[in-house]
Amino acid sequence: MNIKSISNSNYSKTTISHQAHMHKMAFYSPSPIKNIRGNRCACCGEEMIPYPVTANLWAKITLPISQVVKGLRLERLKEEHPNVYKVLNYFAYMYPNQSLDSILLDGSNHNMFVDSITHTVLEANDSEFPSSVAFRKAIKRETMNIFNIFESNLKNSSEVIKELKPLEKFMHNEKREIFEELESLSAIYPDKKLSELVQLPEVVEKHIRGCYDDAIEFAKKRDFHWQKADEIILKENSNLQDALKKLHSEVNAIYNDDDPQRCAYFIKKLYKGFLEKNNLEHIEKPVLEEISQLPVRGNTKNLVMAKIRNNYSDGAIVRFLTRPAMESEKRIIHVDDGGSNNLTNKVVMCRDCSDDLNKLPFEEFCAYRPEIIENTKKQIKLVEDRIIDGSIDFSFRHYPIEVAKVLDEYTNGIVKPDLAEYIAKIKEMENCEGLP
Ligand SMILES: [Zn+2]
């Protein structure tokens, strides 16, 4: 089968638009690999929240625009960005009972809003070309600032919880536990805001006590396994006492990381290096066995509640619960290694995984999150199915082939999707297309 003949396509140059990206408006994104029904993260395999769902959520939980505009919250905006203020004031007059998010679902309102921001940013940077990266960033920053004003203070917790409930299934680990707690608190205090619930004295007291208990439990477990590993090492070389102390403090530094899996991976790597350096490879197995039982700290519910209590607005709490499960495009080859912005260099991951991958090379990421190998293939298979059933435009038919090539090359064959069946199928469809 000649893959080359069907993979010559110019789609990758045109699919990614370089226009100013509004974080709220990202659901206009033309990317066909995002926003697919039933799409799952290419890393953890969990189902992700599609963009329209999030947009709809904010439209329902933010306060009506007239309430926000009437309040003092916009005084500074009025002074600094009169153009934007004028447009918001117009919206408040036209749609007093709607939220900004729902008003902007209308295309002409959206354009008017974007124009007012563009105008403001242009005035501030008149030397910049509207196509420059700095300009696009400035637009995005201004947009976020305005949305932050509208989203910091939401409707009462009972209304917010009601809208959040269908998204509970997308929340990961401690986020779901926190949602459950907020849900039961809002049943008792339905008129309080989310940010008020987390500051209730009885809630604060409970979590402070919880944090303390968690810390004691953690240290007890950690010291137990450290001591066991130390005993094995010192039996071989009793001069390593000081070196082990240093090693422990390095491990402690890693423990500050939020992600338990990443912690475990790097701690293991650290111990492997230590044993190698001291010519103790022969005891690697029993030492790593102890080390793999070290407790994971991660973000316990108590720790997170303490963080939320101190500086989170209503909007920040909702974002904290939902953002990790939102879709994010992830480059396979990092931009620092020459990775392009083309679709062919991207898979879709939940934000949790995508933040986690960060600058780590994809291949190394596969080593400590091995599930990525199967889940990436599953995502590509899903795209194939959607192209064949017509929910993704047929002009994107080359994407699975191109991205498979990048994955195969960049992971040295670790992620190698099987495309034979798909290629046969689209060849058949191409032939049908040519018929009168
Ligand atoms: Zn994920």
Instruction: Return d(Cα 335, Cα 12) in angstroms, integer.
Output: 16
d(CA 322, CA 377): 25
The alpha carbon of 300 and the centre of ligand 1 are apart by a number of angstroms equal to: 19
304 alpha carbon – ligand 1 mean position (Å): 20
> In 10 A of CB 91, how many CB atoms?
21
Ligand 1 mean position, distance from CA 44 (Å): 4
Residue 260 is predicted with a pLDDT of 74
Q: What is the mean pLDDT of residues 245-257?
A: 86
Burial class from Cβ neighbours inside 10 Å (0-12, 13-18, 19+) for residue 276 reads exposed
3-state secondary structure of 373: helix
206 alpha carbon to ligand 1 midpoint, in Å? 31
The pLDDT of residue 16 is 29
Q: Is the pLDDT of residue 28 over 80?
A: no
Q: What is the predicted pLDDT for the residue at 422?
A: 94
Ligand 1 midpoint to CA 262 (Å):
13
DSSP letter for each residue of 412-430 = TTSS----HHHHHHHHHHH
Ligand 1 centre from 385 Cα, in Å?
A: 21
- CA of 30: how far to CAs of 19, 35, 344, in Å? 12, 10, 14
CB 274 within 8 A of CB 232: no
Residue 15 pLDDT > 60: no
Question: Is the pLDDT reported for residue 6 higher than 50?
Answer: no
How far does residue 371's CA lie from ligand 1's centre (Å)?
Answer: 10
pLDDT attached to residue 128: 56
Asked if 240 and 233 count as a contact pair (C-beta separation under 8 A), the reply is: yes
- pLDDT at position 12 over 60: no
pLDDT at 144: 85
pTM, to two decimals: 0.74
Query: 20-53 burial by CB neighbour count: b if 16+ within 10 A, else e?
Result: bbbebbbbebebbbbbbeebbbbbbbbebbbbeb
pLDDT at 79: 84
Q: What pLDDT score does 87 carry?
A: 93
C-alpha of residue 158 to centroid of ligand 1, in Å: 29
**Residue 353 CA to ligand 1 centre (angstroms):** 4
Tokens of 235: 């039996």
What does the pLDDT read at residue 405? 93
Residue 369 — φ and ψ, nearest 5°? -125, 70
Going from the Cα of 243 to the center of ligand 1, the distance in angstroms, rounded, reads: 37
Q: What is the spatial distance between Cα 60 and Cα 151, in angstroms, rounded to a whole number?
A: 11
Give me the mean pLDDT over the 129-153 stretch.
80
Question: Cα–Cα distance between 319 and 274 in angstroms, integer?
Answer: 40
- Tell me if 160 sits within 8 A of 318, measured CB to CB: yes
Higher confidence at residue 195 or residue 336? 195
Angle at 171 between CA 167 and CA 175, to 5 degrees: 125
pLDDT band, residue 143 (cuts 50/70/90): confident
User: How far is the centre of ligand 1, averaged over its atoms, from the C-alpha of 310 (Å)?
Assistant: 28
C-alpha dist (Å) from residue 185 to 179, 202, 432: 10, 11, 59
Ligand 1 centroid from CA 328, angstroms: 10
Distance 356 CA to ligand 1 centre (A): 9
Question: What pLDDT, on the 0 to 100 scale, is given for residue 104?
Answer: 87
Å from CA of 38 to ligand 1 middle: 14
The answer to whether residues 354 and 325 touch, using CB atoms and an 8 Å cutoff, is: no
Cα–ligand 1 centroid distance for 375 (angstroms): 10
* 154: Cβ contacts below 8 Å, ≥ 6 apart: 61, 62, 63, 160, 193, 194, 314, 315, 318
Cα Rg, the chain, nearest whole Å: 26
How far does the centroid of ligand 1 lie from the alpha carbon of residue 57, in Å? 21
Tokens of 359: 């600058």
Beta bridge partners of 326: 49
How many Å lie between the centroid of ligand 1 and the Cα of residue 36? 15
Q: What is the pLDDT of residues 287-323, one digit of tens each?
A: 999 998 888 766 788 888 888 888 899 999 999 999 8
Please state, in angstroms and rounded to a whole number, the distance separating the CA atoms of residues 212 and 66: 44
Contact partners, residue 189, CB within 8 Å, separation at least 6:
157, 196, 197, 200
